[in-house]
Structure 1
Amino acid sequence: MPKITLSTIAKKANTSVASVSRVLKKPHLTSSQIQLRVYKAIEELNMDTSKNFKPYKPIHNSGKILIIDNQLFTKSLINIGLEQELKEKQYQVFYLQFPYNNKSDIHHIIRYVAQNAFDGIIIINDAPYLKTLVAYKNTLPPIVLVNHFSLDFVCVHFDHLLIGHQITKYLIDKSHSKIAILLNNETLTSTMLLLQGYKQALLRASIAIEPRYIIHGCFTYQHARSAVNKLINSTKSPTAIICTDHFSLNYLNKNNYKEQHHQLPDSMVLGALHQANENKAKLTKPLTISYFSASKELKYNELDSLCRINKPLFKMGQKSAALLCELIENTIKPIKRCTIINTESMFY
């Protein structure tokens, strides 16, 4: 395969070599039209440009922050927290929903950032393009990930291992030894860590891990109903169930849900609770159901009677925005760093 040079790109883009060089090295000196032509040529040539861009230098001071939001549920408490913090720092906030189909699509982010001269970027939740973005991060303004752990970026996240252990130990201390757990996307790091914490708590209490109590693929109201029905009707039904949270889901298609309440963050726990109530006659005592809440506030519904653990998403949004502001102001070194937001127990 012939080597792709700046001359090759210039010919494809119908522009000069100097223009291509400026797009890659000094994008702030080029027009959006020239950038569009050059990036389109790069994509058509399937060129890896990660080593062609000039390292980022804070030359803009535009007062603009880009938020790339990968949440299934929009306008969460994370958004409110970070928007409040950024507003106090007098930053303008711009949102981007980024559909990612192939590796060359990463150029859309790079072009958008260059054209708008953002001072910093916040990315909410894990996303498949993050692995590709790592190669380009030195050419982009400071980036902070929120609600996702990463060794490659500065990040603000929850310690899901501790959460899983904490809630399982609480149930064990309440004399439960048959504890089931409903999990969603088993490929997510947060889900895997939560499961590890659950298993560790059981093993430390000398309780054997029962594979039938570990249910994967619970995303919806109906998934949870089906799982709980199967558990209750099994020969060794559990006395307690932990419902994992949906706060880090971002790969689901909302159009797959037909009923409105299936789209809510509490859909899984509601499904589990409703099925447990229907099967109450088959239980020797009420099933203890635990779940994760994004707020300390009462919901004034049936969920208020369950035991829960609060994941303060609002605080997470505030912390991620404050951390990004510190990076922009160069008050902390832009090294790999992660900040853990502690959960708050609300068991009763």
Structure 2
Amino acid sequence: MALTQYDLIEAYSLELELFSIWMKNQGMTKSTQQAYMSDARSFLKGVYPADLAKLGKMEIMRFLSTTRERGAGDEARNRKLSSLRAFYKSLNEMEHLQINPAASVAKSKQVKNRIPTYLEENQLHHFFDRVEGKYQNRNVAILLLMAFAGLRVGEIHRMNIQDLHQDGSIHILGKGRKWRVIPLPAELHQILIRTLEERRSPNQGKEQAFFISQFGRRLSIRMIQTVADQTFEKLKAELPELMNTRLSSHKLRHSFATMQIRSGTDIRTLQELLGHASIETTQIYTHIDNKQMRMAMDKFTGKIPSVSRTE
């Protein structure tokens, strides 16, 4: 008989409940909680009906190997490993288990300094020309926050009215529930003020979300991604050179970081603007594209010594 979701929950209901309580107390975002819980359930499905106290490193490795066989790359494997480490850590801290076999499993080494996909400035102008529809002004503001303030989709989703300040800054709740203050370009600050003035009245009077959906609720992460995806499709139709390029909302954040580096922003400042915990994450944006390399090498034009050939 096939394993059902009911069987899984019945066998591991306490562990899953403890994990859920622990994640909420850690202040994890809903999206992170959902992703971690999904990975934990996938793992439990593979080991059912085993007693977790009797499992070891081999079961963790077997689960990760299975994800490899299903096409997961290094990044996906490491994310699932992080989920299992958190799952076991929660059971340790909640005094349910004394072991954490996931803690001793090494992460896969990922390719470093992979050049991120981004849009050139002229492509960004074309991109914003393609934003249309009933909620055009709201959607332009959302996309500008990604491309010219470097915000993540989740950060835009969590934005509240009080996060926009009169001094021209915006206070952002980022990953790890850490706040950062971003001084906005004057034009972007004014656009956000106008967006707030045009903000749709929410269904619930106490709703403080900055961006409201057509249904009167906080605009969802999925809808923010859809706004970007639909605009990218229009851009690709206009610029065939982008047709085979994978573009998503996060690529606008890449574009912001690339423009900052090209403008001379130092890596430490960029780290603060992006809200990266580690400067190593920010360093992927120090890439130099072919145009810059061509300009650098062109400086040697006329300086190459002529060498006489001897027969």
Specify the TM-score bucket, using the shorter chain as the normaliser: under 0.3
Q: So what's the TM-score if we normalise by structure 2? A: 0.25
- Higher relative contact order (CA closer than 8 Å, sequence separation 6+): 1
**TM-score between both structures, scaled by the size of structure 1:** 0.23
More strand by share: 1
In terms of fraction of residues, the more helix-rich structure is 2
